[in-house]
Structure 1
Amino acid sequence: MVDFHDLAVIKADFTAFVNVMHCMVGVFLWDFFTTLDFEWDYITGRRKFRWTLLLYSFSRLGALGTAICNIVGFNVTHEINCQQWVLWSLITAYTSVTCASALITLRVVAIWGRNYLVVGLTIGLWLTNLGFLLFGIVMVCLEDRSPWSPIAGRCILENTVHARDNVAMTVATDIAQLIIMLVGLLRSRNTKYGMFRHLYVQGLIWLVAVTIGELPAVIFISLNLNDPWNMMFQNLALFTMEIFATRMYRSLANYNMGFDKDSHGPESHDGGPWRVTV
C-alpha cells in the first residue's frame, strides 16, 4: 500500500500537482484571452453597461490573479515571501469564487421573481460562503503555513487540510443554488420555449460542470492523503466555476441582445414578460 506521507511519494505527488496546475492555468488563459471581445463591446459602447458586469469582471480578474500567482510561486528560482504569496493567492482566488457565486445568486433571484423566501435563502447561502472564505484568509494571516525550503528551492505548503471547510462550503453553495435555479425554471412550465429553455439547459450544464469540476477537490481534501493531493484539484474547481459562471453570463447577455438566433418561443429580446437579466 502506498505511504502518502513518504517523502519520495510527496515529492512525486507535488510534481503531479504542479503539472495539473499548469494545465488548468493554460485552459483558463485560453478562455480569458479568447473572450476579451465581450469586454471590448462595453468599452466601445456596443453594449449597455450593467452593474453586474463588475461582478463578472472581478471574477475574471481574480482568477487571472490566481493564475499569475500560481505560475510565479511554483516556478521561482530564488527565495520569496511565501506567506505573502499564499495570502495573495487566496485573496484573488476567493474574490473570483465569491463574484462567480454572486452571479449565480442574482440569476436565481431573477428566475424566482424576487420571491422573498428564495431571496433570503440564496443570499444567506452566499453570505455564509463569504464568511467561510474571509475566515480562511484571516487564519492564513495569523498562521505561517508556508515556509521557504532552501533544500527544495520552493515554498513548502503545510496544513492545507485547513481549507477543507471553505472548499466544501463553496461546492455546497453552488449545488444548492443550482438546484433552486432548476426548480424555479421547472415551476415556470416554459422550459420548452426560448428564454426559459435557454436558462434551463445552461443550468443543467452548470450542474454537471460543478459535479465534475468541484467534487474531486472536496473528496481529496476530505481524505487528507497529503498536502499535494489536498491541493490537486482546487485549481480545477476554481477555474471550472469561473469559466462556466462567466460563460453563462455572456450567453445570457448575448441572448438578451438578440445575438442568439436559435431561439423559438414566446419571449421577446427587447424586454418582454419572458426576459431575465442579471
Structure 2
Amino acid sequence: MVDWRRPAIVVAEDIALVKLVHVLGGVYIWEIVSCLDFEYSFISKKRKFTWSFLLYLGCRWFPLFAIALQFLGFDVSHKINCQACAVFSFMFAYLSFMCTSALIILRVAVLWNHSKIIIAFVCAVWIANTAIYVYSLITLRSTWIGILCAILHTHHSRISVLSTLTTDIVLLVLMLAGLKRWKNAPKSGGVWRLLRTQGLIWVLIVTLVEVPPAVFISLDLNDAMNMTFQAFALVISPLGAARLFRQLIDYPASNGVVKVVNEPHSEHSIPFSHQSHQTRKQHGSEGGTVVLDILSVKTTDSEVPKGETFEGANIV
C-alpha cells in the first residue's frame, strides 16, 4: 500500500503538479490566442455588445491570471511573498468559477422563461457559493518551502470544491428540467439534438470536471494530490463555459426556424437567416402565433397581429 505522506512520494507529486500546471497553462494560452478574433468582433462592433459578454471575458481571462501567478510561484528563483501570490491566484480562480456559473445561470433563466422563483433560487445558490469562496480566501495560507511557494493545509479548501460541484450539479439539473418544458422538443430532433443545440454537453463537461477534485480532496492523500485536479478544473470549467457562449452566438443559420401557427392544429415552418449580432424579424399572419425555436430569447408564444413585427434575439 502506498504511503502518500512519505517525503519521497510528496516530492514526486509536487514535481508532477508543477509540470501539469505548465502543460495546462500552455493549453489554456493556446485557447486564449486561438479565439481572440471572437472577442475582437465585439470590440470592433461587428457584433452587438451585451453585458453577458463581460462574464465571457471573465471566464476567459481570470483563469489566465491565476495560471500566471501559479507560474510565478513555481518558477521564481528567489523568495517572494507567497501568501499574496497564493491569495491572488485563488482569487482569480474563484472569479473565473463565479463567471462560469453566472453564464450558465443566464441559460437556466431563459430555459425557465425567466421564472422569478427559479432566478431567485439560482441566485441564492450563486451567492452562497461566492460567500464560501470568500471564506476560503480568508483562511488560505501559503509559505515558501524549498524552491517553490506551497499551499498549506490544502484540505481546508474542501468546502469550496464541494460547493462548486454542488452548484454545477444544481444548474445542470435545472437546465435538463428546463429543456423538458419546451413545447417543441418532440419536433426538434429529440433530446440529443436539444442537448447539442443548447450546448449542454459543455455544461456537462464543466460539471464532471469538478468531480475528481471533490473526490481527491475528500481523500486528502497529500497537498499535491489535493491540488492536482483543481488545476484541471481551473482550465476546463471556464473553457467549457466560454465555448458554450460562442456556440450559442455562432450557431449555424441552417438550424434556425420560426414556426407560424395559423390554426390550432396546423403550422408551417419558415427558415430565417441567423445573424447573431443583429435583430431578427419575422412577419406573422393575422391571428397567428410565432413560436421561436431554441435560439430565441423567449419560450412563450407571442401574438402577432397583421402588419406588426415580432423581434427575437439570440440567447447570450
TM-score (structure 2 length as normaliser): 0.79
Alignment-derived partner of residue 171 in structure 1: 165
Alignment-derived partner of residue 221 in structure 2: 225
* Structure 2 counterpart of 1:185, one-letter code: L
1:133-187 Cα distance to aligned partner (Å, 9 max, x none): 11111223xxxx22213xx211232100110010111111011101101110121
Higher RCO, Cα 8 Å, sep 6+: 1
Counterpart Cα distance in 1 of 2:107 and 2:100: 11
CA gap of 1:245–1:199, structure 2 versus 1, over 3 A, is farther
Alignment-derived partner of residue 161 in structure 1: 155
What is the Cα deviation at residue 58 of structure 1? 1.7
* Structure 1 counterpart of 2:212, one-letter code: P
Counterpart Cα distance in 1 of 2:24 and 2:92: 16
Counterpart Cα distance in 1 of 2:60 and 2:231: 14
Equivalent residues of 2:4, 2:10 under 8 A apart: yes
Q: After the TM superposition, which residues 207-222 of structure 1 pair with which residues of structure 2 at under 5 Å, given as runs? A: 207-222=203-218
1:59-98 Cα distance to aligned partner (Å, 9 max, x none): 2111110111111211111111100010110111111110
Equivalent residues of 1:193, 1:266 under 8 A apart: no
Equivalent residues of 1:178, 1:203 under 8 A apart: no
**How many positions carry a matched residue from both structures?**
267
Equivalent residues of 2:83, 2:143 under 8 A apart: yes
Alignment-derived partner of residue 75 in structure 2: 75
Alignment-derived partner of residue 193 in structure 1: 188
Alignment-derived partner of residue 111 in structure 1: 111
Counterpart Cα distance in 1 of 2:254 and 2:45: 25
Alignment-derived partner of residue 230 in structure 2: 234
Counterpart Cα distance in 2 of 1:210 and 1:39: 22
Task: Say what the alpha-carbon RMSD is for the aligned residues.
Answer: 2.0
Equivalent residues of 2:66, 2:92 under 8 A apart: yes
1:207-260 Cα distance to aligned partner (Å, 9 max, x none): 4413542111110001000100000100111211100101101111223xxxx1
Q: After the TM superposition, which residues 242-253 of structure 1 pair with which residues of structure 2 at under 5 Å, given as runs? A: 242-253=238-249
What is the Cα deviation at residue 198 of structure 1? 6.3
Equivalent residues of 1:214, 1:240 under 8 A apart: no
Alignment-derived partner of residue 261 in structure 1: 253
Counterpart Cα distance in 1 of 2:122 and 2:16: 37
Gaps spanning 5+ residues in structure 2: where?
Answer: 260-271, 275-279, 282-290, 298-314
Counterpart Cα distance in 1 of 2:203 and 2:37: 26
Alignment-derived partner of residue 262 in structure 2: none
CA gap of 1:262–1:74, structure 2 versus 1, over 3 A, is farther
Aligned-pair identity in percent equals 37
* Structure 2 counterpart of 1:251, one-letter code: Q
* Structure 2 counterpart of 1:120, one-letter code: A
What is the Cα deviation at residue 266 of structure 1? 3.4
Counterpart Cα distance in 2 of 1:171 and 1:105: 15
Task: Give the 4+ runs in structure 1 shifted more than 4 A.
Answer: 196-199
What is the DSSP-based 3-state SS (H/G/I as helix, E as strand, rest coil) of the residue aligned with 1:157?
strand
Equivalent residues of 1:181, 1:203 under 8 A apart: no
Counterpart Cα distance in 2 of 1:155 and 1:161: 17
Q: After the TM superposition, which residues 43-192 of structure 1 pair with which residues of structure 2 at under 5 Å, given as runs? A: 43-140=43-140, 145-149=141-145, 152-191=146-185, 192=187
More helix by share: 1
More strand by share: 2
Counterpart Cα distance in 1 of 2:148 and 2:234: 23
What is the DSSP-based 3-state SS (H/G/I as helix, E as strand, rest coil) of the residue aligned with 1:146?
strand
Q: Kindly name which structure, 1 or 2, has the bigger radius of gyration based on alpha carbons.
A: 2
* Structure 1 counterpart of 2:159, one-letter code: D
* Structure 1 counterpart of 2:167, one-letter code: T
What is the DSSP-based 3-state SS (H/G/I as helix, E as strand, rest coil) of the residue aligned with 2:255?
coil
Equivalent residues of 1:190, 1:197 under 8 A apart: no
* Structure 1 counterpart of 2:76, one-letter code: V
* Structure 1 counterpart of 2:154, one-letter code: T
TM-score (structure 1 length as normaliser): 0.90
